Amino acid sequence: MPIIDVEGLTYIYAKGTPYARKALNQVSLSIDQGEFIGVVGANGSGKSTLVQHFNGLLQPTKGRVTVCGRDTSSKEYRNSLWRKVGMVFQFPEQQLFAETVAQDVAYGLKNLGLSQDEINRRVPFALEQVGLDPTEVADLSPLVLSGGMRRRVALATVLAMQPEILVLDEPTAGLDAVGREVILQIIKDLQQERNTTVIMVSHSLRELIPLVDRLVVLNRGKVAACGTPGEVLGCNPLQNLKGIGLPDYLRLICELKERGVQFENPVTTFQDAEQALEKLIKESVR
């Protein structure tokens, strides 16, 4: 049984008003326990709208979303979904509000009704998970930390709740290259060590390709492609992938394909591209 199942999901903002806007149109997909799914697409393609259905924040205008086998349109279930599905919104550090880092991380745990002992155990553990030293940062105000560290604290507030499913909406937006790498590695480790199901939204195929099991490409509210990075990149002409951060090496490969060059093996990683180009050059000098 898939952990998340989306069937014919259509979502219309401001339905019935002159401002009605169809953000998702007949989206179907299923996600298995422990999978790492990348959701990619241009601005306004419906990425945030889709993932906000996974924690019950939005309910389908049409169609059905089930999480762990239960329909999210049940109000009673929806009210408990936040325990299962951890949601890291874009720029989550803006939601830090407590006086200290430790209080921020503890906040959600209090709402879970955990004992003080359990909270005292989980707070430093979550900070360590995101690569912060609890003895150094726990008593600091989040305001004195760098942007990258605040983002990590925000991630810790969600990880501390030990969600079965982790949804991240553009978790690296606005960070520098080092900050991005740190966050991506934390997320990957979490999925591999705890078998957490991870759904990560990004503008950039570049950062998703090395991480994910499968990609979902959205285009104007529809699924334009879905599959392993190899499948998605192998079957799609460049135009479907424009505007979604195609890495330079793939842009080169796609342009060569458009000019009629054929590649025997699928090209997904940088190494694949290197090998394919080396072969091409050798053949052309023969």
Binding site for ligand ATP (CB under 6 A): 13-14, 21, 23, 41, 43-49
Residue recorded with tokens 């006086």: 99
- Least Å from the CB of residue 37 to ligand ATP: 15
Q: State the binding partner of 21 from ligand ATP, Mg ion, none, CB within 5 to 8 A by kind.
A: ligand ATP
- Which amino acid is residue 283, in one-letter code? E
* Residue closer to ligand ATP (CB basis): 47 or 151: 47
* Residue closer to Mg ion (CB basis): 48 or 73: 48
Q: State the binding partner of 49 from ligand ATP, Mg ion, none, CB within 5 to 8 A by kind.
A: ligand ATP
* Residue closer to ligand ATP (CB basis): 23 or 273: 23
- Least Å from the CB of residue 50 to ligand ATP: 7
Separation of alpha carbons 26 and 3, rounded Å: 19
Rounded to a whole number of angstroms, the CA Rg of the chain reads 21
- Least Å from the CB of residue 124 to ligand ATP: 33
Angle at 233 between CA 230 and CA 239, to 5 degrees: 175
- Least Å from the CB of residue 47 to Mg ion: 5
Q: State the binding partner of 41 from ligand ATP, Mg ion, none, CB within 5 to 8 A by kind.
A: ligand ATP
Contacting residues toward Mg ion, per CB under 5 A: 47-48
* Residue closer to ligand ATP (CB basis): 14 or 143: 14
* Residue closer to ligand ATP (CB basis): 145 or 232: 232
Put residue 262 in one of left, alpha, beta given phi > 0 → left and psi -120 to 50 → alpha: beta
CB atoms within 10 A of CB 56: 22
Q: State the binding partner of 46 from Mg ion, ligand ATP, none, CB within 5 to 8 A by kind.
A: ligand ATP
Q: State the binding partner of 135 from ligand ATP, Mg ion, none, CB within 5 to 8 A by kind.
A: none
Would you tell me the crossing angle of helices 248-258 and 270-285 to the nearest 10 degrees? 40
Separation of alpha carbons 91 and 169, rounded Å: 9
Residue recorded with tokens 């996600």: 31
Handedness of CA 179, 181, 184, 187 (dihedral sign): negative
- Least Å from the CB of residue 101 to ligand ATP: 28
Indicate the burial class of 52 (C-beta count within 10 angstroms; 0-12, 13-18, 19 or more): middle
* Residue closer to ligand ATP (CB basis): 41 or 92: 41
